Structure 1
Amino acid sequence: MTQINKKALSSEQSQALIGVLKMRFEKNPNRHEGYDWSKIQAKLEVNTEKLWSLNEMENTGGEPDVMDHDKKTDEYIFYDCSAESPKGRRSICYDYEGQESRKEFKPENNAIDMATAMGIELLTEAQYRALQQLEHFDAKTSSWIQTPSDIRKLGGALFADYRYGTVFVYHNGAPSYYAARGFRGSLRV
């Protein structure tokens, strides 16, 4: 009996997604100057789980695009590049502990668990700032970012946005959530 891989797209879905990613790649050369799409596509075609994760990023409004290349591991790194925090990932607490600590009005999900289920990671502060060097994102929204454990142990979590020509990194209680706050992720392929 053949086991179906739930984290794989059909051939048609894969080709459609690769087409979308290629078009975005070509439309935004400033994000990945000097990168060769054919090398990226070859990696995508043999990494079905990574392609599935990119599809999850796309389906939740992230508009993933290649932002970096790790020469040591020869991995291309995709970031969510939607102008605002991805719509399909907003109104969520930082993590499960924060979500469960809410007495009332618990959101349906949290950033850490959503990212894990999608096979991606929240952007770090350094990644978020690097993203903002190329274009300005989150001018009307904000995004949870990876939070150091010492801050998280005290009940806090970090988020960032772009206002007044500046990238701001703030703190909030991990149980908090807002309609305009989601998270941006990264994926290595």
Structure 2
Amino acid sequence: MAVKNKKELSTQQQENLLDILKIRFEKNPNRHHGLEWSAIQTKLESQPEKLWSLHEMEHTGGEPDVIGKDEETGDYLFCDCAAESPKGRRSLCYDAEALASRKEYKPANSTVAMAEAMGIALLTEAQYRRLQELGSFDTKTSSWVETPSAIRQLGGALFCDFRYGTVFLYHNGAESYYAVRGFRGLLHV
């Protein structure tokens, strides 16, 4: 089967991705108590655009896995569960405005633009803290998180990491970028 557009996976790519996701799901039952893979796979197969987003999460090093179910919508929640901030999503400033403000040494992209292009949402601080209840993430790296507009209007942006058994929330200029800072995404399926 030919790929019709760049946001659609071939049958082989879908099968490979579903195999990876199933293996990860089975290896990490603590992330999704009471959920059954067969129901999740059925929902994924009916939403090819979500499979494409998960493929992008996987391709950039996010190691997406199911971390729960939204009881209001019935959506399964996939989140980047790589131990450290995804390698393919590092060295990015926060958003397009921050990228445009850099006069030299511009990064290749911004966190907000990349997340949007992938069809995923940036984690909020609360979502980041909930993720840390499922394991220890970002013990050597950090991840940009969704920044309230009041902070962003003043030129800042927020990021988190996990050190000393604690989640820390910090601020930086939105135009800054570092080799050890990326972002984690959330996808509703």
TM-score w.r.t. structure 1 length?
0.97
Asked whether 1:65 is paired with 2:27, we answer no
AA at the equivalent of 2:181? R
Q: 1:75 to 1:92 in 2, by over 3 A?
A: same
What's the % identity of the aligned pairs?
67
Report the counterpart of residue 170 of structure 1 in structure 2.
170
CA positional deviation for 1:4: 2.0
AA at the equivalent of 1:8? E
Asked whether 1:160 is paired with 2:160, we answer yes
Q: 1:16 to 1:3 in 2, by over 3 A?
A: closer
Q: 1:70 to 1:90 in 2, by over 3 A?
A: same
Structure 1 unaligned spans of 5+:
none
Whole-angstrom distance in 2 between the partners of 1:59 and 1:6: 14
Structure 2 unaligned spans of 5+:
none
Whole-angstrom distance in 2 between the partners of 1:40 and 1:142: 29
Secondary structure of 2:129's aligned partner = helix
Secondary structure of 1:162's aligned partner = strand
Q: Are the equivalent residues in 1 in contact too, given 2:80–2:186 (CA < 8 A)?
A: yes
Taking the TM superposition and a 5 Å limit, the aligned residue runs for 1:76-155 are: 76-155=76-155
CA positional deviation for 1:5: 2.9
Per-residue CA deviation, residues 126-161 of structure 1 (Å, 9 max, x unaligned), is 110000011010000000000000000000000000
Whole-angstrom distance in 2 between the partners of 1:178 and 1:73: 36
AA at the equivalent of 1:122? L
TM-score w.r.t. structure 2 length?
0.97
CA positional deviation for 1:3: 9.3
Q: Are the equivalent residues in 1 in contact too, given 2:30–2:134 (CA < 8 A)?
A: yes
Q: 1:51 to 1:3 in 2, by over 3 A?
A: closer
Whole-angstrom distance in 1 between the partners of 2:173 and 2:29: 38
Per-residue CA deviation, residues 46-103 of structure 1 (Å, 9 max, x unaligned), is 1000000000000000000001101221100100000000000000000011111011
Whole-angstrom distance in 2 between the partners of 1:172 and 1:3: 41
Q: Are the equivalent residues in 1 in contact too, given 2:3–2:9 (CA < 8 A)?
A: no
RMSD of the TM alignment (CA)? 1.1
Size of the aligned set, in residue pairs, is: 188
Whole-angstrom distance in 1 between the partners of 2:169 and 2:107: 23
Secondary structure of 1:38's aligned partner = helix
Moved over 3 A (4+): none
Q: Are the equivalent residues in 1 in contact too, given 2:67–2:79 (CA < 8 A)?
A: yes
Whole-angstrom distance in 2 between the partners of 1:101 and 1:6: 30
Whole-angstrom distance in 1 between the partners of 2:5 and 2:57: 18
Q: Are the equivalent residues in 1 in contact too, given 2:145–2:160 (CA < 8 A)?
A: yes
Q: Are the equivalent residues in 1 in contact too, given 2:3–2:10 (CA < 8 A)?
A: no
